[in-house]
Amino acid sequence: MTDKTKTAQNAMWGGRFAAGPDAIMEAINASISYDRRLAAQDIAGSRAHAAMLAAQGILSTSDAEAIREGLLTVLSEIEAGTFRYSTALEDIHMNIESRLKELIGEPAGRLHTGRSRNDQVATDFRLWVRDQIDAADTGLTALIRALLAQAEAGADWVMPGFTHLQTAQPVTWGHHMMAYVEMFARDQGRLRDARARLNESPLGAAALAGTSFPLDREATARALGFDRPMANSLDAVSDRDFALEFLSAATICAMHLSRMAEELVIWSSAQFRFVTLSDRFSTGSSIMPQKKNPDAAELIRAKIGRILGSTVALFTIMKGLPLAYSKDMQEDKEQVFDAADALMLALAAMTGMVSDMTANRDALKAAAGAGFSTATDLADWLVRTLNLPFREAHHATGALVALAEKKGCDLADLSLAELRTGHPDITEDVYAVLGVENSVASRTSYGGTAPAQVRAQIARWKERLG
């Protein structure tokens, strides 16, 4: 046997690795390649912890000062891109602490008093998710403002409303835009609810049982902007509900974005021409010169795939974990990072598209009248004016739709004599309700499509946003 054969027998997967199992252990164990994104939060947490230790007399003032300055140096190195990350040091927590030791020596070793990486990472991650929630909240406000501007510009522009993607009844462009405002505002509400529950501090829970050092958990909680310390140390280190709530809210938001994106894809097609997307948010084809593709909308439509994927992944990671911390939980971060990145990008792209797009009023109007969209108005007229039972009116109208379809015309194009084949008592007055403008104007019930209602909703939202 040559040495070469021996190596292959001993380590079948050895080709990729310089050494044996230790390198593999390092590869599966290390999280520094991604958890470096928690650096700023980790340093903020350590600063709060060190200051509290000093205030409690657990750490000398000079050690605390050395730690504070050292951490600020580490932060500036990270921000400048000069920090050297080491996989051997596993994660961001140990990378930072090790560099701190290089910089300030012995006091660095006192920073971890009364703390564990378990409460440390839980704290860092909460702070990170909290920032993302705030960023998503801001992004949603921008999107809502863009939708409000569209709604205001076309509050009374008629367009077809659909059920089953079949023409149903005329609605207004403003009404359709405002439907999305409601959806995205609910997303904002879910994120805010999640934030309120997230905002408790795990710091000081230590490994799982708390600590015998006289920590002031209220103080560190306050310093980090948390409302209070978490009340149970086992729960503090093993809870990832805050990440799951963020992911769940992000998934619902991504689903809304996907639905809207799908509408933009349909509406921007040559067959619909309801909207024209700006060049800034479209792409061309390398072979078909005439093409202008709604790529941004398509990619937004797809983002739900990875965001929901992350959500499912983290639920699956967390299920069945015994209390308290298990290393499985290290796998939480990449899921949340990826989902957050996808959500922020999708929100920004949708906001850009909505701000830039032009609704084609004429195409919307032409489509609004097609497909017998005022048939319900005709049935309602028969009920209101001739006192027919609705079912009978529905039947008579259906017969008139069939007649118009056969003639290849709209309901409004039927002569009075023809209309009277539906019901002999129909009068000239009926033509008023067959027009789409009258149809939408008549739907004045609260939340309905009448321009007056739409404008009232726009005003309500504008006041709410300030």
> Measured on CA atoms in the order 402, 403, 408, 412, is the torsion positive or negative?
negative
Nearer to ligand ARG, 241 or 425 (CB): 241
In the bound complex, what is the minimum distance in angstroms from residue 81's beta carbon to ligand ARG?
A: 22
In angstroms, what is the minimal distance from the CB of 241 to ligand ARG?
A: 16
Looking only at the bridges linking them, the beta strands covering 358-359 and 228-229 are unpaired
Least separation in angstroms between residue 331's CB and ligand ARG is: 8
Closer to ligand ARG by Cβ: residue 90 or 380: 90
Nearer to ligand ARG, 93 or 443 (CB): 93
Q: In whole angstroms, what is the distance from residue 139 CA to residue 147 CA?
A: 13
Question: Is the CA virtual torsion 342, 345, 348, 354 positive or negative?
Answer: negative
Nearest C-alpha neighbor of 201 from the set 361, 41, 84 = 41
* Closest CB 45 distance from ligand ARG, rounded Å: 12
> Cβ closer to ligand ARG: 264 or 317?
317
Residue type, 357: M
Q: Min. distance of Cβ 255 from ligand ARG in angstroms?
A: 29
Q: What is the DSSP letter of 168?
A: E
Specify whether 278 is catalytic: no
Q: Applying CB under 6 A, which residues contact ligand ARG?
A: 31, 35, 91, 117-118, 121, 325, 327, 329-330
| Minimum distance, C-beta of residue 84 to ligand ARG, in the bound complex (Å) | 18
Minimum CB distance to ligand ARG, residue 99 (Å): 16
The backbone torsions φ and ψ at residue 163, rounded to the nearest 5 degrees and listed phi first, read -130, 145
Q: What backbone torsions phi and psi does residue 11 show, to the nearest 5 degrees?
A: -140, 90
Can you tell me the distance from the alpha carbon of 258 to that of 373, in angstroms, rounded to the nearest whole number? 27
Whichever of 111 and 183 has its CB closer to ligand ARG, that residue is 111
Which of 6, 327 has the CB closer to ligand ARG? 327
Q: Which is nearer to ligand ARG, 293 or 326 (CB)?
A: 326
Select from 461, 436, 433, 421 the least CA-distant residue to 362.
436
Out of 164, 212, 286, 415, which one is annotated catalytic?
Answer: 164
Contact 250, 303 (CB under 8 A): no
Q: Is the peptide bond before 399 cis (omega within 30 degrees of 0)?
A: no
Instruction: Decide: 42 and 124 in contact? Cβ < 8 Å.
Output: yes
Catalytic residue (choose from 33, 62, 76, 285): 285
CA distances from 159 to 143, 152, 449, 456 (A): 22, 15, 11, 19
The residues, any chain, with a CB within 8 Å of residue 37's CB and separated by 6 or more, are: 128, 333, 337
Which helix (H) or strand (E) segment holds residue 167: the answer is: strand 166-172
Active site residue 164: yes
Instruction: Report how far residue 138's alpha carbon sits from residue 141's, in angstroms, rounded to the nearest whole number.
Output: 5
User: Which positions are annotated as active-site residues?
Assistant: 164, 285
